[in-house]
Every structure is written in C-alpha cells, then in structure tokens.
Amino acid sequence: MSLPDQDVRDRIVAARGVNLAVEAGAGTGKTTLLVERVADLVRTGTPLSRLAVITFTRKAAAELEARLVRRLAEARAAREPWAARALDDLR
C-alpha cells in the first residue's frame, strides 16, 4: 500500500547533496523516514560519521538510534556488506 505522500517520502530518502528538515505531526512517520534516509545514505557510501541527524528530545534521539540499529541489523542479516560496516561505526 502506498501512502498519499509516498512520492515526497521517496524524494527525501533519495535526495543527495542537500540538507533537509522534516516537519510533520506526531505519528506521521518522521522517524521511519529518517531511518530510511540514513540507511540509504550509508548504503550509497556516506559514512555515518559524516551525518548529523537532529531531534528535539533525548527520547526521540534514543528511538531514532534504536530503529537505525534495528534497520542496519536487518540489512546485515540480509548479507548487505554496508550494514555491517555501519553497525561497527555505531559501536
């Protein structure tokens, strides 16, 4: 099932060479979108150390990190070599 704003979400994930601010209400998928963007940036060669992902609270930052670790672990289990490197970088 595709979301009504899926085209915008896809452009956010795929955008390169730009900084983005994602603003939306609670429960709209911001964290999921940011996790996918970070995963895609890392998959295409951007080191985690070159990324700044900013949230407004420590709780949101912890949730973002937990979801990113889970996403990277899933990719590593699927034998994606970029994911193993990224997980190592997080440690």
Question: What does the pLDDT read at residue 46?
Answer: 93
Residue 87 pLDDT exceeds 80: yes
Strands (E), 1-91: none
Q: What digits encode the pLDDT tens for the residues 5-47?
A: 889 888 889 999 888 888 888 888 889 999 999 999 999 999 9
Question: What does the pLDDT read at residue 1?
Answer: 67
Residue 78 pLDDT exceeds 90: yes
Residue 3 pLDDT exceeds 90: no
Residue 68: half-sphere exposure toward Cβ, Cα within 13 Å: 27
81, burial (CB in 10 Å: exposed 0-12, middle 13-18, buried 19+): exposed
Q: 37: which residues sit within 8 A by CB, 6+ positions away?
A: 12, 13, 15, 20
